[in-house]
Every structure is written in C-alpha cells, then in structure tokens.
Amino acid sequence: MREGIIGTLARVLTDDNASHREKTAAARALMAADAQNIEMEKMTQADEHEYRANLVAIAKHLGPSEVARLAANAGVAIDAEAFPDVGTGEAAPIDGEEESERT
C-alpha cells in the first residue's frame, strides 16, 4: 500500500497538468515519508546495538566455557579458548547487582 502511495505522489510531481499546490503537497508528503523512514532506520540500529551490547554483557557474565557449552547445546560450535577476553567464568556482578545477591 505504501509503495502505491509513493508512486502516486511521484506521478503528481511529474504530471504537467498538476497545479503548483498539488506538486508542493506531493513533494512535502514524500519528504515526510523519507524523514520517517530515516527515523525508523535509526531506531532499528539503536535497538540492534543495544541487543548486541546485552549479549556481550551476558557473555562476560557467564564466561567463555559456559557460553561455549550453551552454544553447543544450541548446535553452534564455539571455541571458548578463542575468546579469552570474554570473562573468567566466575559469576561477575550484573550492573546494579550486589555481591550478596549472586550467592
């Protein structure tokens, strides 16, 4: 449906019989749609970045051997030795978590 609307607006812009007011309105609508698309892309990228950051935090919390074990259970082969900087495997506190809450 959206593609049909965009096509209609584009035809108005190129129509020699369309008034200046119609062409201006079509151009504004196209620019608004483009701005909306750009905003949606930004939100999607931010969501993806947050998702990946959360995955990294979880991996650091669990440690490489636990991540490798969970991945193996899901059918994904991961070499825990290849990720020495992920964590020690000891339960590290999650943001805002106190030491007493982990035990």
pLDDT score of 62 more than 80: yes
Q: How far apart are CA 83 and CA 80, in angstroms?
A: 6
Q: What pTM was estimated for this model as a whole?
A: 0.49
Burial of 43 (0-12, 13-18, 19+ CB in 10 A): exposed
Cα–Cα distance measured from residue 2 to residue 37, given in angstroms and rounded to the nearest whole number: 12
Of the candidates 91, 88, 87, 85, the one whose C-alpha atom is nearest the C-alpha of residue 103 is 91
Lowest mean pLDDT of 39-48, 71-80, 90-99, name the range: 90-99
Residue 88 confidence (pLDDT) above 70 = no
Whether 80 has a pLDDT exceeding 70, the answer reads no
What confidence category does residue 24 fall into, taking pLDDT thresholds of 50, 70 and 90?
very high
If phi > 0 it is left, if psi is from -120 to 50 it is alpha, else beta; for residue 78 that is beta
